A and B are shown apart, each in its own frame.
Chain A
Amino acid sequence: MEFKLEAHRIVSISLGKIYNSRVQRGGIKLHKNLLVSLVLRSARQVYLSDPCPGLYLAGHPGAPAAPQQPEESAAGPPAGWGEPPPPASRAAWPEPEPQPERPAVPEVPRAGDAEPAATVTAAGDTLQGGEAEAPEAAWRRVEGPRETAVGAGGPAGVSGVCPEGPEAARGPCGCPAGDEDKLSAAPRVDRCLASRPAAAEPPASPPVCARKRGAAGVGGGPADCPAPGSTPLKKPRQNSEEQPGGAAAAAEEEEEMETGNVANLISIFGSSFSGLLRKSPGGGREEAEGEESGPEAAEPGQICCDKPVLRDINPWSTAIVAF
């Protein structure tokens, strides 16, 4: 269980880093995002593989099979999403865009489960010179959004993450120009993040818009944001770097389902995702997925995917979508 907690925490921290990388000066750092996505993948594996009695296993064959799931679901979602984008569309994605890459199939040995505990038990040590925010706060059941939940990406996330002006446009922000001027966190963030989950079926996979979309209009990079509302399957192609975050979001989602604690999930995403809060004022615990998708559905053009399709996908993916 400890491993799970730590893995969960690391996942949320990693999400925050990926999220913050969008607004960092100088563009997205490919190397750093690759490393973060690797950590995300490892943590997710530990999270999935850690045998933990309870609801978690209800939806899955069990711990040993858990690691298989990501791969299987990886195969699944693309199919669920729709046709893979044609190569031409992929090419349209501007090559220069540095994006965190999807790591190869993880080789983290099962024995690795033991190590993370040893490694992470020291996580409580505080070190100077760094973010003092305590991601472990993500773990605490909180009533409202906890800004520290997403590590660095928390509160700063709202204002800092929602890119403004040029920074926002960093990733080929497929968002229609109008969005870039919006500073309001919720709709923008949802939109921007919406693109993440889609592609992140494979755990911690770096975002590549081309892969991500499936049915979503892959075509086109930055300039080619599918018109909102043109089809429910299309979503603005955002910084693919968010992909790995998506996988982590899925982790959160699983945790959500497992504990049925909406507040916990909210705390993890922090106030950046006020859209979630808006749509689910506190009820809907049982509909964790729905809650995630709710805000999405509510915003025309932001719908990542049809809900029924979401339901069929690994719950991780669901959270990714909501993300």
Chain B
Amino acid sequence: MRNRAAWRHWAASFHRACRPTSDIISTVEFNHTGELLATGDKGGRVVIFQREQESKNQVHRRGEYNVYSTFQSHEPEFDYLKSLEIEEKINKIRWLPQQNAAYFLLSTNDKTVKLWKVSERDKRPEGYNLKDEEGRLRDPATITTLRVPVLRPMDLMVEATPRRVFANAHTYHINSISVNSDYETYMSADDLRINLWNFEITNQSFNIVDIKPANMEELTEVITAAEFHPHHCNTFVYSSSKGTIRLCDMRASALCDRHTKFFEEPEDPSNRSFFSEIISSISDVKFSHSGRYIMTRDYLTVKVWDLNMENRPIETYQVHDYLRSKLCSLYENDCIFDKFECVWNGSDSVIMTGSYNNFFRMFDRNTKRDVTLEASRENSKPRAILKPRKVCVGGKRRKDEISVDSLDFSKKILHTAWHPSENIIAVAATNNLYIFQDKVN
């Protein structure tokens, strides 16, 4: 990774990508090149940002992200049969690798996954013979010569069209989607089942994991997240509400209820409390880019696991351990159910996750250093350098520290994303999106 100085030089590359009628951001995802950044919100909208091309005369504006496309992905629905309202909130967005000029992404709400095609149009044909420029038909009798229509430049138009709708396959709420490395299939996971889809086929999917017990009374855990291995198209993992991770190999059997590997850390009995089960529930699982490690996020910690060692993680990072004594209050105000995500940087050397008070944390796996930063309006002035923050956990509070009781628990950073190859991060703070760049570039 970089030298120590880099940690101190995170600068806001632009003020904020704030939408006037913005809704709470529910997912953030860079595409495979990092050129595009997609956000989904509670209102079912997707907003895609594109990175500006570098220009020689505006060096300081290099790499700013501006709005590229906005579209309504999902609408609220009502299931009349069950009398259930289906929220339009976008739970996850996942990009497909680019294979032609158009961009493709998957977006999902609780029940339906959609494949969207985002394409540009910057030329239009002109010079038709049978119709004029406004499209009105011409009287053939008036045509004396023929011409070949030509394409002329027009203002760039970005259009998003739904190409596939994968519906009616999930009884429970979809929490994850993951594109397979074969680029032909993807999986969608809900609380109890995981389905495998082919992008071309929308009317069927294969069920590959089903943990629904015959008698629902015996249910003890649910699936909380799932992801394909970045390189091995037969391998995927899914995490559970009990704090366990299962790795499955689709070559072993059609229904992967029996795991190939089972990752679980024994519980520390001294930490037992009413809320032990809640805080051990895994909210996110991510493969490293190398495919060698998986990272899991539970309420208080981030853990890195080596795929070759199942009995305990190789690294555990405390995100906000000062909350351990406040679990009861957090239970009362529902914060204990917040599902934080976690991300790797491009080289798998740094991991990042969010916290409360608009804080987010980064952990350098090599140097074992960590930093707490804040995504706030004060810090978001262009090129402002983020100052590390610190939470005072007791005793005398120093000048710049914040005491635990002063933390604002309504300001939570659940969703973050890291550029696949550069030190650019996107942080969603409620309805604001912050993009930060490492100044040392």
Contacts and interface: CB of A to CB of B under 8 A. Distances in A.
Interface string A222-246: 1000000000000000000000000
B410 A26 contact: no
Contacts of B89: 26
Given A104-B218, A118-B273, A125 B329 contact: yes
A119 B324 CA distance: 8
A300 to B, nearest CB: 25
B16 interface: no
Contacts of B356: 129
A10 B276 CA distance: 14
Given A35-B278, A104-B218, A129-B410, A27 B224 contact: no
Contact of B325 (A30, A94, A122, A170): A122
Contacts of A32: 337
B389 interface: no
Contacts of A94: 82
Given A126-B329, A130-B333, 11 more contacts: A29-B173, A32-B337, A101-B222, A111-B272, A115-B272, A118-B273, A119-B327, A120-B328, A125-B325, A129-B408, A130-B335
| A interface residue count range (under 10 / 10 to 19 / 20 to 34 / 35 or more) | 35 or more
A125 B326 contact: yes
Contact of B191 (A38, A98, A108, A116): A98
A39 B277 CA distance: 8
A15 interface: no
Nearest to A101: B219
B382 to A, nearest CB: 29
A308 interface: no
A193 B151 CA distance: 68
Contact of B172 (A98, A122, A129, A152): A98
A201 to B, nearest CB: 11
Interface residues of B, number: 54
Contacts of B409: 127-130
Interface stretch (A60-68, A205-213, A278-286, A291-299): A205-213
Contacts of B329: 122-123, 125-127, 130
B218 to A, nearest CB: 7
A108 B272 CA distance: 8
Interface in A1-16: 6-7, 10, 13
Interface string A140-153: 00000000000110
Contact of B328 (A10, A38, A170): A10
